[in-house]
């Protein structure tokens, strides 16, 4: 329903490529889970690094896939009301939702996540578990990265909503 513009095409293209690439991590996660289960139940040997890499991969998939889901409009919303509203009312709700809820929330997460990652990096944080993974700051860095991508997706969507509500394409131009 929303018209595209040069900015949204650029950002949405990047987010789509990232989303397509990151979708493969779910297969890697599945493989690691299967290997871990087989090792544990068939051989009685649990591996902490497999446990940790599972939540690292899940974090990658979720945080980097979130922006793709948003720009593709595949995210969860209350469709019971949303789908019954006229397109202009939906666009106004989207505009206010992006400006008053999404962008401020994303900004707060990025604002607090950057020092969170920096402190972890400065301390050379590693897993506290014996045999756990090193470079804890690296997985923590995915948090602000994912939210920066979500911010780009929000700005792309905002540009499309503004074009729909205020642009020439909505008025037949």
- pTM equals 0.88
The candidate with the shortest Cα–Cα distance to 37, out of 26, 28, 50, 49, is: 50
Residues in the chain, total: 173
C-alpha angle with apex 165: 162 to 169, nearest 5 degrees?
A: 90
CA 81 to CA 47: how far, in whole Å?
A: 47
The candidate with the shortest Cα–Cα distance to 117, out of 59, 52, 66, is: 59
Q: What is the pLDDT of residues 100-158, one digit of tens each?
A: 999 999 999 999 999 999 999 999 999 888 888 899 999 999 999 999 999 999 999 99
Q: What is the pLDDT of residues 66-90, one digit of tens each?
A: 999 998 887 766 667 777 889 999 9
């Amino acid at each position: 329903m929303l018209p595209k513009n040069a900015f949204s095409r650029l950002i949405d293209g990047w987010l789509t490529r990232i989303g397509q690439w990151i979708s493969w991590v779910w297969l890697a996660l599945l493989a690691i889970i299967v290997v871990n289960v087989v090792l544990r139940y068939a051989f009685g040997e649990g591996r902490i690094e497999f446990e940790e890499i599972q939540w690292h991969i899940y974090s990658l998939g979720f945080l980097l896939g979130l922006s793709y889901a948003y720009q593709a409009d595949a995210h969860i919303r209350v469709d019971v009301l949303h789908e019954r509203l006229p397109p202009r009312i939906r666009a106004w709700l989207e505009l206010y939702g992006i400006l008053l809820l999404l962008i401020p929330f994303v900004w707060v997460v990025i604002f607090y996540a950057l020092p969170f990652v920096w402190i972890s990096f400065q301390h050379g944080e590693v897993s506290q578990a014996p045999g756990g993974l090193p470079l804890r700051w690296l997985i923590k860095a995915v948090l602000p990265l994912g939210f920066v991508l979500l911010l780009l997706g929000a700005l792309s969507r905002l540009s499309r909503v503004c074009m729909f509500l205020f642009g020439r394409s909505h008025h037949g131009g």
